[in-house]
Amino acid sequence: MRVPLPLVLVFALAGCSADYSLGGDDGPYDQSDTADNGASEDPDDGAPPEQENAFLAMRPAQTDVFVFVANPSRNTVTRVNVNTLEVRTTEVGLDPHGIVTTPDNTTCVVFNRGDDSVSIIDADTLEQRVVPVRDDFNKLVMSPNGRWVALFHDVAAERPDDPPPSGVQSYNEVSFVDLVTGEHFGMAVDYQPREIQFTPNGLLAAVVTKTSLGIVDLNARPLLPHLVPLTDVLVDPPSAEEVVVVPDGSYAFVRQFGAQDIVVVDLATEVTTHVPVGENPTDIDLTPDNTHAVVVSRGSHELHLFDVAAPFDPPQILGLPPDVSLGSVLIDPTGRQAIVYTTASLTDRYATWDLTTDAITLRQLVKPIREISITPDGNSLLVFHTKSDAESADPASPFHNSWAMTLISLDDQRQNPLRLPAEPIGFANSADGAYGYFIMAGVHQLTRLDYLTLLPEEFPVKSDPVYVGVLPDLDLTDGDQPKAWVSQEHPLGRMSFYDADDNSLETITGFELNSAIEE
């Protein structure tokens, strides 16, 4: 009998606003977290894995006042003050290719891909420190408390324009950088790290590799990982597909490709235990109060609810509608209800799950689901649809073979399906849940969604939009809406800022020229 090695990782969702680039099928930005497409590994329902969002390296970063844009060809970062439109540009290392900001809005961190370094920049003064890291990384992750960044090479995130490696290259290395002290800690973990997660308090990090978790005590010196194997299969071991860590650092729930159970890892004792969860588990999430882990078993049409304080107690099992494939769960931030859906097949239905009553209700959509998002206040649901239609779709439908999205009120389930002229490529929601914004490929407009009326409003921009975001709202009670921004294609940089308070749209263009100003 295998000695269980409970090992718990804390899963923390970083970021102050829900800004996403759309991934999934039917789109060019297929940025799935999954390193492998497990379709061939799943013996039960034959459907591919569920598609989730992934970090996109070139996305601008934001604080409450500034938007930071990396300019890889100029080796600079441009900071735009959203209120005054003042533009300042500062030089960083070679080929800046990842940029994030700390939750306290004081620091911007840039990963310089070309010279393997990290620039730690004061958001106000633009003074910076440069910290060399290990070579050939392509992913940057920040801890939720903004104290650490971690970098690694993710094979799944490799791009054609990645600089060619020089000299010895390792696929087992990660770097941790203390943003306060500027110290760098490099280390070797297991083969091909694919994800790094932090506890909310920043004390612990977990490096997820194919077959192990590398637990890093960030207070310990020397800073080294402790590897916890996730399987005792030595030949062709199953890969970890998803890891959810409990915030108190007690347990981690690991879902492996093609496995029919989940692995519960006790972080303290490092004991791993396989827990059955029905057939073909495809998603794990924590409830917002972090008391339960929810596993969606697509094959057996079940939800398994685990008490994270007692993960080995029998879970509560809720049945899902048996005649529809549902493999993903998204719980609203208030914990009131959840959406159970699938992105792995062309299914034009979803279920709402009332967490209070455990009532599960199947509902109809106009088209299958590509991506969904619940507003921070939990009142509204935004559904982006696939262009392809469900098998049973009516060819005469105005949404047939078309891009579409649906706004849904989660209070009364009102829907407003919208036919779109092009593929949506990004969206963002305001922190108070009042508005959402999205952009479409090749369409020169920013669309604002009013979640109260479920009505869209379009604002023209000058060129193809690339990314969209909403500044964090530091005071949800002041009645002011933070600005939304949309970056656009332009050889010299273009960004527009929308203020919902006065319905104004301002645009700055050519800010990359600031890097060539000679004083």
Partner 1 sequence: MKTPFLSLLPLLTLAACGWDLPNSGNAYLHLPLWDARGIQATVDGLYVPMPHNGGITLLAPGEDARRVDIGEGRVVNITVPPASSAATVAAVIERYRCEVDDKKEARKVDRLADCADEDLKVDVEIDLIAGGVVTSSVPLDTPFRSMVWNAAGTHAIAWTDAATAAGIDGVVNLTSVTVIDTIAGTATAVPVGFSATDVLFDDAGARAIVLSQSAVAVIDLATSPPARDVTFALTLDPDQVVTPVGVQLTPDGDYALISVQGSSDLYVLDLVNNSVNIVTLDLAPSAMHVDPSDDLTVLVSATTAAVDIMDHRFFDVTRVQLDEAMDAIIDGDGFDLLYGRNHRDVYRLDPLTGDIVEFRLQNPLLSLHLAPTEEFAIAFTAQGAVDGRPGMEILDLRDTRGHSYPYLLEGVGIDAKFTVDDAGLLHALILQSDVTYLYALDLYGGTAREIELDEPPIGIGARAEGGFYVTHDDPLGLVSLVDPTTDAIETIAGFGTLGIFDPIDFVVQPGQEETP
Under the rule (CB under 8 A), what is the footprint of partner 1?
74, 85-88, 462, 491-492, 504, 506-519
Of 44 and 86, CB closest to partner 1: 86
Of 234 and 517, CB closest to partner 1: 517
What sign does the CA torsion over 231, 36, 208, 190 have?
A: positive
Of 478 and 502, CB closest to partner 1: 502
Residues 69, 190 contacting (CB under 8 angstroms): no
| Per-residue H/E/C for 380-399 | EEEEEECCCCCCCCCCCCCC
Q: How far apart are CA 482 and CA 471, in angstroms?
A: 6
Q: Nearest distance from residue 86's CB to partner 1, in Å?
A: 6
The values of phi and psi at residue 156, to 5°, are: -70, -20
Q: Nearest distance from residue 263's CB to partner 1, in Å?
A: 52
Q: Nearest distance from residue 80's CB to partner 1, in Å?
A: 10
Of 182 and 460, CB closest to partner 1: 460
Amino acid at 73: S
Tokens 């799944």, residue located: 156
Amino acid at 504: S
Of 297 and 515, CB closest to partner 1: 515
DSSP reduced 3-state for 106: coil
Of 75 and 287, CB closest to partner 1: 75
Of 358 and 506, CB closest to partner 1: 506
Q: How far apart are CA 192 and CA 185, in angstroms?
A: 18
Strands 272-276 and 261-266: antiparallel
Of 268 and 516, CB closest to partner 1: 516
Q: How far apart are CA 463 and CA 496, in angstroms?
A: 10
Residues 399, 417 contacting (CB under 8 angstroms): yes
Residue 215 vs residues 219, 231, 370: alpha-carbon distances, Å? 12, 16, 34
For the chain, the residue count is 519
Q: Nearest distance from residue 15's CB to partner 1, in Å?
A: 29
Q: Nearest distance from residue 513's CB to partner 1, in Å?
A: 4
Q: Nearest distance from residue 474's CB to partner 1, in Å?
A: 24
Q: Nearest distance from residue 494's CB to partner 1, in Å?
A: 8
Of 114 and 460, CB closest to partner 1: 460
Of 442 and 491, CB closest to partner 1: 491
Q: Nearest distance from residue 252's CB to partner 1, in Å?
A: 48
Q: Nearest distance from residue 48's CB to partner 1, in Å?
A: 43
Amino acid at 127: E
Q: Could you write out the DSSP letters of every residue in 49-86?
A: PPP-----TT--EE-SSEEEEEETTTTEEEEEETTT--
- Beta-carbon contacts of 222 under 8 Å, excluding residues fewer than 6 positions away, are 185
Q: How far apart are the first and last CA of the chain?
A: 72
Q: Nearest distance from residue 121's CB to partner 1, in Å?
A: 18
> What is the token pair recorded at 177?
């950088």
